[in-house]
Amino acid sequence: MADEGTLATTAQVLLAIGQNASAAQILEANTNIWILMAESDMEAETDAKGLVANYATITASYKQWLALLASQRAAFYAINQDQNSWSLTTAQSKLNVIDDIWRDGVQKLRKEDVIKAMNL
């Protein structure tokens, strides 16, 4: 099966999930769903409309940053889906770090100058 999302890959999501991911979390069918959900969240929660549709026009440096955000958001869904791989404090710590990265990224994606720099 191939990656179905545009902004991130399964490998990037697995890196964001971290060590000791469960069988459900490493299943590519699941990571594909979480990547698509992340992409939807990125467009729904920001003014950066057309991230996926206009991906080819986005500069390489922004593509890497968008991959980071999408993979972190997908990892958030993965960890929430199955927290049994870690102790509660470890799972919560992972979610807190991912949420901080997500909130910072969304805040930046709401800025007009960032959106213009990405050619959106």
The answer to whether 18 and 49 are in contact (CB under 8 A) is: no
pLDDT of 2 higher than 70: no
pLDDT tens profile 94-106: 999 999 999 999 9
Kindly list the domain boundaries of the chain, sorted by start residue: 10-117
State residue 47's pLDDT score.
82
pLDDT attached to residue 88? 87
What does the pLDDT read at residue 97? 94
Instruction: Tell which residue, 35, 34, 78, 59, has the closest CA to residue 118.
Output: 59
Least confident of 9-13, 14-18, 24-28: 24-28
Give the model confidence (pLDDT) of 42-96 as tens digits: 999 988 888 999 999 998 889 999 999 999 999 999 998 888 888 889 889 999 9
Half-sphere exposure in the Cβ direction for 79 (13 Å, CA): 28
